Structures are given as C-alpha cells and as structure tokens.
Amino acid sequence: MPSLLIKNANIASEENDNLITADVLVENGIITKIAQGIAVPDDARVVEASGKVLAPSMFDTHIHMREPGQEAKETIKSGTEAAINGGVTGVVLMPNTSPAIDSAAMVRMVYDIAKRDSRIPVYTSGCITKGREGKELAGIDGMLGLGVKMLTDDGDAVPDMSLLKRAMEYASEFDCFFASHCEVLELSGPRALNEGVVSHRLGIQGTPACSEEICMDRDIRLAHATGARLHIQHVSSKMGMETIRWWKQMGAKVTAEVSPHHLLFNEEDIGNYDTHYKMNPPLRTAEDNAALLEGLKEGVFDIIATDHAPHTPFEKEQDFVSAPNGITGLETALVSLFHHYLKKGEFGWGLLINRYSAEPRRMMGLEPVPIVEGGPAEFILFDPEGETTFSAEYMQSMSQNTPFLDQTLDGSIDLVVLGDDVLLDR
C-alpha cells in the first residue's frame, strides 16, 4: 500500500487506560512518526480517525481450524479470515485435527497450508501423545525442531499421570510449554452442561466443576515437580481460578487463560436446550462469572483466548446431549468484550491489550506490537460509536455456532493493518 496517515486517533497501549490523541504515519509497513499535525505525504492515503481507538491487533492462542480432516467446519483460510474480521492478526492452532498434529510431518503440512492460504501469521501447537490417545508420547522432538512452542492434547486431558510426567521431564529442557485441558473423565459425565440447578431442571446429567479443578491441581503439581512450564486452558470456575492463584503464590511456573464465553455467559443462558451455549468446560454459574472477571482484573488470568470451535449447523441442531461442544469466537470476542466491559467501565483498553494482544504473543516467544515509532504496523482502528451485527453475511467463518448470531453490539472494527497490507477496511 502507499503511505498511510491516520489522523487524530486515540492511541491505546497496554501500559494504562489513557488514550493519547495523535496522527500516525505508516511507511513501508513501519510506523515512522507519531505526532499531532503530521503533514500529508504526497502518496499517502489519509484516514480520519477522530473519536476512534487505534490499538495493537489481537493475538489468539486457542483456535480450532479443523483442517486437516474436518474442512466442512472450518479451513485455515476461512478461519484466518474470521480472525481478521475480529481484529486478530495471529493465531495458534490446536492439534485435535483428523489426523492429529502429532509429528513433524503434520506440523510441516499445516504450515504449508497456512503459507498458501493465510494472510496472517499462523502457529500450531503439537500433541503430547500420539493421536491424542493418551497411550504413548507423540513425536515431540521433531515438532519442537520446527518451532512448536505449545504441547497439548486439547479436547482431552492426558489420563496417564506417569506418561504426562515423563513428557514434562523430557520437554522441559526445551523452549516450550504444556497446555492443559483439565477434566477427569470419570467425573465429567456426558460433558453437556454444569452439574447444578439447570442440569436438574433440564433432566441432563451434568459435569461438576470439581472434574476440572481436580485435574487442574494434578497437572500443576506435576509441572511444579518436573520444572515444566504449564498453561491452564479455558478456566470456568471460581475454585479453579483460586487453585491457580494459590499455585502461583507457591512459585509454580503456571499461566492461565479465560475465554469471553466463560466471562459473559452462565448455565441460565442455556434456556430451552440451546446448543449455542454448550461447551466444554461447560458454562458454570453467575457467581463464577463474577469471580472470573475479578480474576482477569487482578491478573490471575494472564491471557484471554477464545477457544474458537466451529461446528456445522447440522451438528449443532442435534439434541443437547448429542450436539458437539464449542462455539466460534474469533469474530465476536473484541466487540463483545467492548460492549459488555469496556463501555461499562469494568476494565479499560490497557487491560484488554495486555491480555489479548501483548501477553499472548509473549507466551509464544513473540514480541508485542505496540504503536510506537519504529515499530511494525500491526494494529486495528476501532469505532466505539459504531455497531456490529453478527449476521451470517457478516461472518467470515464457515460456521456460525455462536450465541451472538444476529445480535447487534456496540463497537466496530473499521480497519486492520498488518505491515504494508490493509487486511480489512470498512
């Protein structure tokens, strides 16, 4: 693109919630000047940004693209376009594809597809066990040799504690970390919804929160004993959050994520068996919502991640127990967090950028992308006075299994820039 001059933008950063109004000049993919009253270069495109927020673009470390094997749900091409639509310019894929990403050959194939089909950087995690079957270790060294940083059997916990301990002992010497989907299968039942008043009312066996919390404590203990770095995925309960807080105080090398849906929704939203609210771990209670929000503010949760999980309409239209778990999140996360939290003053742009842009990149060994002179142009322009309607026409994902479908929320993403490319321009 030619030079890009963004005039009168309110620039956001992770340092604090204060917005600084200035012009921003981008030349050859680099932010070359930040000041008020920048003269317009001859070849520049000018974007008037009065009242809008210029922020580093988001980075999501928990994404299911479904390719290879389930391309009817999502491909790397459609999923990364959905990411751009949501202001996200980097993603980390989960390895529970079919076949699973459990070897160097599979990692290489995913990166070849991403190089061909994606306009944003794509990273992948790798399995801990072959085929995610929990029986023998995957080809860990080969995957790490191709730059894989995260090892996980996401979608399931590793049931064999001895095997997980051995994996941690082996891989902890390398520059990588483990990510745990925490669940005790003997307790989790049909994985349909939280065990509580709603499960009793609907007549469906529920999954107790202790299923998640017991496994969480187990995995952190193993990591602490072996010296491994551990990341806890999609925490859903207050007690789980407090478990993580305690282990952090004990010096464990543990980080944790919270998803927008576990902040925003709870078991009461399921209503009359609405499968758009079915996920694993399940939605808990309103009390858990409030606790998770406080944990995000206090720093118990290091990052926000969506657990973007696309499914076809046919799958989600099954009965509640049979329908698959998960909702999409890449396109809705930023706007919904603004609508429900930033606009209401629950937290500000500083926290959002730290948890959904800077810290996720740091966790993956990448540099954040602050809006500073000499830095790369990797940012979004967000209109707080705009609106977004999440219609099927608006969504770029191949699947629209989201509670936000056809809802209109405050805020809109007007521009997404990556280097010298304008990826999205409304």
The span from the CA of 301 to the CA of 11, in Å, is 25
Spatial distance between the Cα atoms of 129 and 153, rounded to a whole number of angstroms:
7
d(CA 388, CA 385): 10
Task: Say if residue 115 is exposed, middle or buried (CB neighbours under 10 Å; 0-12, 13-18, 19+).
Answer: exposed
Query: Strands across the sheet with 177-180, in order?
Result: 150-151, 177-180, 230-232, 254-258, 303-304
Place of tokens 């509670």: 403
Residue 20, token pair as written in the block: 């600084």
| Type of residue numbered 280 | N
Q: How far apart are CA 211 and CA 209, in angstroms?
A: 5
Distance CA 175, CA 168 (A): 12
Find, among 284, 325, 372, 332, the residue nearest to 20 by Cα.
372
Radius of gyration (C-alpha) of the chain in whole angstroms: 21
Structure tokens at 415: 């521009």
* Contact call for residues 275 and 322 (beta carbons, < 8 A): no
Q: Which of 153, 219, 288, 307 is catalytic?
A: 307
For residue 105, give the amino acid letter: A
- C-alpha dihedral sign at 157, 158, 160, 161: negative
Give 399's contacts (C-beta < 8 A, 6+ positions apart). 73, 74, 310, 311, 312, 313, 328
State the pairing for strand pair 45-48/58-63.
unpaired
Decide if 307 is catalytic.
yes
253, exposed or middle or buried, with CB in 10 Å at 0-12, 13-18, 19+? Answer: middle
Residue 183 gets which letter from DSSP? -
Helices (H), 140-270: 140-145, 161-171, 185-188, 197-202, 209-226, 238-249, 260-264
Which positions are annotated as active-site residues? 307
